[in-house]
Structure 1
Amino acid sequence: MFGAVSVYALAQQKQQIGRIASLRLIDPAPRVIDGDTLEVAGSTVRTVGIDAPDDDLPQLKRLSAQTMAGLVQRDGGVECAASLFDVALRQEQQCRSPATSYGRLNLPCRLEKNGASLAATMVAQGYAVDYRRYSGGAYVKLMQQAARQRMGLWGQDYEGMRRLAVDRAGLPAGCPK
């Protein structure tokens, strides 16, 4: 019985991953939830490869969300799809990002008007940090430059952003280095 349930669960998971891999969401006016999460075409999407401040840094969380909202409004919305990850920026192998987490789809997003990576833009402007586990280090140099220049939140609370960056710089056990 247990074996049959396990096989069924694996088959369901494989189908879900297949659906998400081919999913393409476009929204001219997504609702920003926070600095790394938005609602795109009715689906909650977490931008893969970055992390923005959360409830433990409420002021920074609010500023990060405001910045993302300004970007998506200025640039005509977003497109989110698994095929949009910034592979060329990757410095190392990354851990496979789960298809979903906390009820959110994990997808890379681009700004509609100019095609810029939403993740790279948020990190370069200093409103999010590289999440090495899922980015493969794609945004480390952008993050380091933003920190050096005290861009965005790095100028507001350098120590808070530094702690977040350190927390997100490690790789879990079993993840390729």
Structure 2
Amino acid sequence: MTSELVSARKSETGTGRQLSPEQAAAAAMVAEAKARGLALTGPDGLLKLFTKSVLETALAEEMTEHLGHEKNRAEPGRESTNVRNGSRTKTVISDAAGEVGIEVPRDREGTFEPQIVKKRQRRLTDVDEIVLSLYAKGLTTGEISAHFAEIYGASVSKETVSRICACRELHPRW
């Protein structure tokens, strides 16, 4: 955990309340963006990077769930020979972040059907606002899973949501 995140978690809001972990992580991300001279919005802004990070993490976790094992962790002697087979670049259009280039994982057998960004889907309707809202509000994994099902019609398990949240409080490429 970065020192900025720890400091942000310890800081308090103007009302004397302690920041939630999600609020602290968001505050740390904004502070890091400002320190690097990164705009919050725009072609290379924080919102676009955050959207890209969340989408790619969700897709990677969907692939893990689809294959039944983490990357490079397949058990010897398993029945299926299906494994990860690289990724392909896809550009999606978001209302708040504009065009966002993402890497969509592939499997060798071609049976992976992503739910967060479906095959042939090019437009993300309100994804940015939903992702940021859910992140900032500190919803439970079940609530986030239900919200994605309600908004996108996508089946995202609580385990997948949990792995996504645990893996990426901050984008590691920063």
Give the TM-score, by structure 2 length. 0.29
More strand by share: 1
Give the TM-score, by structure 1 length. 0.29
